[in-house]
Structure 1
């Protein structure tokens, strides 16, 4: 493909990013500014210009869905053989390939959920946390592993981080150590150990490092504000002493700090690479000027930490209605108020298909589902199963009804 054709349709900032063919490059991209468009065109432009071959590019994303979208765009741009993967998918592929040479024997079993193993580890040290407690323990172990904290150092580390442990730190450390022992004993591999082993393999075996670095010479990392120390360790192993790295992110969109991620790698990129090219994407194509104005105000008020390096977005869409604000005493009251507002809109002629309720997590949908049902408003839940249709909720309701009716001939007891 003609390199110049790859750049057609890009705005000036996206074009600047695409033309920055050699790293280090830092693209600060606000929400709705076309960052995926910019980085896929940059990769395709580099390939079309002969700067790098398709097989030598590794584009790293945070979700399999994002990786799939990136591969689809690259195919349409004439670069179908570029590797676009998550950190975990790339690490698993490399670890599986080199395992026979480095370790030998049976490959470990990858576990996607720690709950069962954490439960066994907790019981082995005399603790019996409930289901919620097990989830909290699993999350805490994940945090410790991605921040490279060992069981023996957990107590000091959690205090230094100002983190609220789910149970006394000493007990967490005991479960953590038992979990690691159990994992090794049964040849189990969790996601964190997978990244750690891959990085260790590259760093400790020069021949493997050479093969990996000969294979991948051109790196792009999306959502760099959510990279954690373990992912950074692996990225550094991939890079070696090279700096052909392009990172993309927005410090104001950090969402995984609770799990050990830090926007510091993004905000400190220019300090680590003083000769880096920095491009800011600020043209917002997603929202109306009224919404962008609110976003700029909210982000501006959050200055002080990562968002001190915030971007001021410029809306590209036509004007829309001004946002309205309403405060409620609690979440049920908010859900009821929203349901009534929707009912009024529909009675006024607004089609239900043009109304959406956005929630941050799936768990928040329950209150709105109940409120909309009470108000007689038809609705569809996207991205998850309706609360009362989820298997665990059906089972709970069935159990409660059974308890309510009691045995035959007995007086029902209030729940």
Structure 2
């Protein structure tokens, strides 16, 4: 590609970034404004015009996947030799290269997780903690190390930062000191130690520093608002006294201060580099004007002087879309049930399940939504817990696929093709054509294996000649980049895990005081970070946006919650009435659905689906249930969808217990909405009339 061709198609601000090829540059880029496009075109333009050789460029980002995306875009733009890495990957590469020459001896083992060593340190200190506490202490140690806080200074640092320690600060400091002692004795290196050691090698060895600075002359750092003090030290060591640095970030998306990240490096960039070129990207290409207006409204109410001084007000570039919906519910169960119904409706209207997300403040909120989605027959995937290729089920499947490829499984399956070969191998790992009912580990394992099966279908569609060795190579490349396949289901994720992602439809749930802002956010700075978290959630939506809250936690509970203060002045005077609340008002009844047999309030999703307690006796037409399952299998095969998306087992059981005689009777069964009634009602009633 010619240099001038790289500039084509950029908007004026993006072009200004691309043409600012020398000297310190600061890009303040709002959500959805095309920052990755701007910086990759800047790098490509600089290399194609001869400003810098591709191999002299180091582009730094925060995730392996983001680094892989940068490399892919740069290849397509004609700059294939550029290095794009995370801070840790770049540091590890340099440390490994210089270790024999500078340090010598056995290279330390890199530890992926601190928790096992933290557990040993706690035992050595005669302290007992559960796994959750150990995880929290490990996170505290990470914070202390990235902020360059030693164990003996930990208590004072916590007090200065208004930080809440997970347990007694003295105990945390003791475990921290013992952790460091055990790590050194065992020749282990954690990620923070890797950065510290790289900084030390560069600052204490002039010849090493000169060699690295000769190699890398041109730096670009993405998500600069998330840089922590230790990463900033490493960046300064790389730069030396040079200033060929471009940083990109959004102060409105600073949501990781609890990990040690600080927006001060981004907002103070012009103080450190007074001659820096500053470009603001504010044209939002992601979201509709309605979504953008709400995002601007939330962040515009910030009381932070820093936020007002560095204000980025987005300007929507898309056509109008639907207004954001604000919904109030009596309880969390009703909120989850109605959102599952609305997600089902979006899917039936043509929105792919993978383009829908339900976002919440804390991971503990997911369980209610998992149950509601499963009961509604809506496929879902959990994000942010464990990396896809690190899941035990995925690791086992990849091993099996690799072994089958070596054994020539393509030939052994009588030419059934890549899709059937992969499904045959995955069946040995526990994959079935139909998803298991309910939630939990079995469901997550099935979703993981189903994603691999879908990836094989995608590869076969793109390249009909692809065989199992090609598929295994694709998996290995994706694992190296942590590029997980798209899982076909509604995404359930925390607001923190959603950063950097986007969907056609987003449901922001649980927006009540005490949850957002979280109850332990006490200082003005902590409250403003919670506001930015809501802003991040809003700006994930391209078109459909829903914001909701529940007045009580449990059905029949005291309704004393109030909506998040961040919505003050932004919601309609009356939130959209929800079907569940309207129906309760019409019946003159409040509280949860009663069991149709004993009258006890029903709270579990499976019980509400059946209309009775699980242990209450009920007559079941077993012949009808078998007939319904056979019919469902045929319907799912004809439509090429999982069987549970037609009707879940619980819905079929409820039908077989109640044996509805009319469309009105069938419509009373949870899980049989209007769309399913129109689509499947006559077939189901015909089976009910025949008795199966």
Tell whether the structures are fold-level matches, with TM greater than 0.5.
yes
Answering whether residue 43 of structure 2 is matched by residue 50 of structure 1, we say: no
Query: 5+ unaligned residues in a row in structure 1: which ranges?
Result: 395-411
**1:220-260, Cα deviation, whole Å (9 max, x unpaired):** 00000000000000000000011110000000011211100
Q: How many residues align?
A: 392
CA shift, 1:327, in A, is 3.1
- What's 2:178 paired with? 178
- Name the structure 2 match of 1:397: none
Query: Paired residue for 1:133?
Result: 133
Q: Following TM superposition, by how much is the alpha carbon of 1:364 offset from its aligned partner in structure 2, in angstroms?
A: 4.0
Instruction: Tell me, in whole angstroms, the C-alpha distance in 2 between the residues paired with 1:147 and 1:344.
Output: 47
Alignment-derived partner of residue 404 in structure 1: none
Match of 1:323?
A: 324
SS in 2 for 1:262: coil
CA-to-aligned-CA distance 1:9-68 (integer Å, 9 cap, x gap):
111000000000112100011111100000000000000111100010000000000000
The two structures have a TM-score, normalised by structure 1, of: 0.90
Deviation at 1:265, TM superposition (A): 0.6
TM superposition shift of 1:303? 4.2
Separation in 1, partners of 2:217, 2:160: 37
Match of 1:400 in 2: none
Residue equivalent to 2:113: 113
Deviation at 1:200, TM superposition (A): 1.0
Q: Distance in 2 between matches of 1:390 and 1:318?
A: 42
User: Structure 2 CA distance, aligned partners of 1:53 and 1:393?
Assistant: 46
d(CA) in 1 for partners of 2:48, 2:195: 32
What is the CA-CA distance between 1:136 and the residue it aligns to? 0.5
Q: How does 1:187-266 map to 2 (within 5 A)?
A: 187-266=187-266
Residue 441 (structure 2) pairs with residue 390 (structure 1)? yes
Q: Structure 1 residues 337-346 or 180-189, which shifts more?
A: 337-346
SS in 2 for 1:359: strand
With over 3 angstroms needed to count, the CA separation of the structure-2 counterparts of 1:206 and 1:251, relative to structure 1, is same
Between the aligned partners of 1:22 and 1:244, the Cα distance in structure 2 is 6
Larger RCO of the pair (alpha carbons < 8 Å, separation 6+): 1
Cα deviations by residue, 1:68-105 (Å, 9 ceiling, x for unpaired): 00000000111001000000000000000001111101
SS at structure 2 position matched to 1:27: strand
Report the alpha carbon displacement of residue 356 of structure 1 after superposing the two structures with TM.
Answer: 1.9
- Contact 1:264–1:306 at 8 Å: present in 2 too? no
Q: CA RMSD in A?
A: 2.2
After superposition, give the CA deviation of every residue in 1:108-147 in whole Å (9 maximum; x if it has no partner). Answer: 0000100000000010011010001100100000000000
User: What CA deviation, in whole Å up to 9, does each residue of 1:275-329 have, x standing for no partner?
Assistant: 1000001111111111111111111112405533131111111110111111346
SS at match of 1:23: coil
- Give me the whole-angstrom Cα distance separating, in 2, the residues matched to 1:126 and 1:391: 37
From the CA coordinates, give the structure whose radius of gyration is larger.
Answer: 2
Q: CA deviation at 1:342?
A: 3.8
Q: 1:152 to 1:55 in 2, by over 3 A?
A: same
Q: Which residue of 2 aligns with 1:334?
A: 335
Give the Cα–Cα distance (whole angstroms) in 2 for the partners of residues 121 and 305 of structure 1. Answer: 43
- Asked if the contact 1:263–1:306 (Cα under 8 Å) also holds between the matched residues in 2, the reply is no
Report if the CA contact (8 A) 2:27-2:279 is conserved: yes
Go from structure 1 to structure 2 and tell me whether the alpha carbon gap of 1:383 and 1:173 turns closer, same or farther (over 3 Å shift). Answer: closer
